[in-house]
Amino acid sequence: MAGLLVLSERLLRHNNSMQEDAALPARLIDPFGRKVEYVRLSVTDKCNLRCFYCLPEGFKGFEEPAHWLRFDEIERVIGAFAGLGVSRVRITGGEPLVRKDLPQLVGQLAGLPGVDDLSLSTNATLLERHAQSLQRAGVSRINVSLDTLRPERFREITGGRLAPVLDGLMAAKVAGFAPIKLNMLALRGINDDEFEDMVEFCIEHGFTLRLIETMPVGSTGRQASEHYLDLQVVKQRLAQRFDLVPGFMPGGGPARYVQVRGTDLRIGFITPISQHFCATCNRVRLAVDGTLYLCLGQDHKYELRPLLRQGISDAGLQEVIMEALTLKPERHEFREQPGQVARFMSMTGG
Ligand code: SAM
């Protein structure tokens, strides 16, 4: 009798835990056991700069507005992801601030249950005007792309003006964004004499610096690869001038950090080429036209826009997202097959 009681208690506990499991949201685990918890959301493929490694001058092949996901569609897709365990969303582009009414979208996404980290990548050219409203709407962290502090060089790299970017950065500081990370592409023969200056600039302003290796994405990225610089070498060089100790930075990204002793500065090294980090990849990318890219360096994708416009249900959307995840490849092949990705970074959502 006592034995029977124990058995029925165990069964009850098992059933209860099954019910609890069923109540847990489904999780996005890819075929390689990686948990996807991060979406990079491109809100436009347009940009007001023309960085030579990203978009060709005179490029006209932008997505037509009728194909852009509307804010309500973006909200539905991100809501579906959030229901599947995605908690981090980074708004990017193209240049996200050229998308009209961006703070309104930010507000919609910030209100979604489960989204607890909403960040933005920008070139900062329009940030002075928008920093406060973005902050109020719910953006918590900002990354700014900045490859040089020299106006002439900035014009050569991007075709634009440096002054508005610096104004935007200062406005972001005043608005209270923290951390503010500067993303600097390391380009041999172009800005490789500026790493130390950038470190000093970041120490002075309390920014975090991230150095990034050039990737052969699109014809522009492939051409720029002739300026590729192995960041292991850059780290050794910086160590000669600064006292670097191991550092840490929350954020879910692939950067490996060091800290400059005696300062708050952390320097992150993002090394997709010299030391790829695909084994810990936790992200997917949603392009402005509703294409879900499963890897920055491969063509695996799933088209969500037609389904959204055919009236797919929320549950159906989640099923489709889980199905799409089975397409996520193990890794990029930038080294083995540098010609593989034809689309420009601005199309995927860099
Ligand atoms: N406009 C925003 C910005 O400037 O941050 C977001 C989009 S931009 C495409 C995102 C990042 O992609 C930038 O930091 C840029 O330097 C990086 N990028 C573009 N082309 C690249 C390439 N071929 N290799 C490595 N990074 C690249």
Q: pLDDT digits over 230-265, tens only?
A: 999 999 999 999 999 999 888 768 899 999 999 999
Nearest CA to ligand 1 atom 19: 54
As a whole-number percent, the residues of the chain with pLDDT over 90 amount to 79
CB 177 within 8 A of CB 139: yes
Ligand 1 proximity of 221 Cβ (cutoff 6 Å): yes
Q: What is the mean pLDDT of the chain?
A: 90
- Model confidence at 26, pLDDT cuts 50, 70, 90, reads low
For a substitution probing ligand 1, which of 53, 102, 285, 344 has the most ligand atoms within 8 Å of its CB?
53
Closest CA to 124 of 162, 159, 179, 90: 162
pLDDT at 114: 96
Gap between the Cα atoms of 46 and 277, Å rounded? 28
Class of the CATH-defined domain 27-348: alpha beta
pLDDT at 251: 72
Q: Report CA(168)–ligand 1 centroid distance (Å).
A: 17
Atom of ligand 1 nearest to the CA of 185: 16
> What letter would DSSP give residue 29?
B
- Model confidence at 348, pLDDT cuts 50, 70, 90, reads confident
Give residues with Cβ within 8 angstroms of 91, minimum separation 6.
41, 43, 102, 105, 106, 109, 118, 119, 120, 121, 139
Ligand 1 proximity of 215 Cβ (cutoff 6 Å): yes
If one compares 44 and 249, the residue with the highest pLDDT of the two is 44
Ligand 1 proximity of 95 Cβ (cutoff 6 Å): yes
Gap between the Cα atoms of 278 and 330, Å rounded? 7
- Model confidence at 336, pLDDT cuts 50, 70, 90, reads confident
pLDDT at 152: 98
Lowest mean pLDDT among 74-83, 196-205, 223-232, 336-345: 336-345
pTM over 0.85: yes
Distance of CA 244 to the CA centre of its chain: 26
Q: Report CA(350)–ligand 1 centroid distance (Å).
A: 5
Q: Report CA(222)–ligand 1 centroid distance (Å).
A: 14
Sheet holding 256-260, edge to edge: 244-246, 256-260, 266-270, 208-213, 180-186, 141-145, 117-122, 88-92, 38-42, 283-286, 291-293, 301-303
Nearest CA to ligand 1 atom 10: 350
Atom of ligand 1 nearest to the CA of 93: 7
- Model confidence at 342, pLDDT cuts 50, 70, 90, reads confident
- Model confidence at 135, pLDDT cuts 50, 70, 90, reads very high
Most confident of 150-164, 210-224, 239-253: 150-164
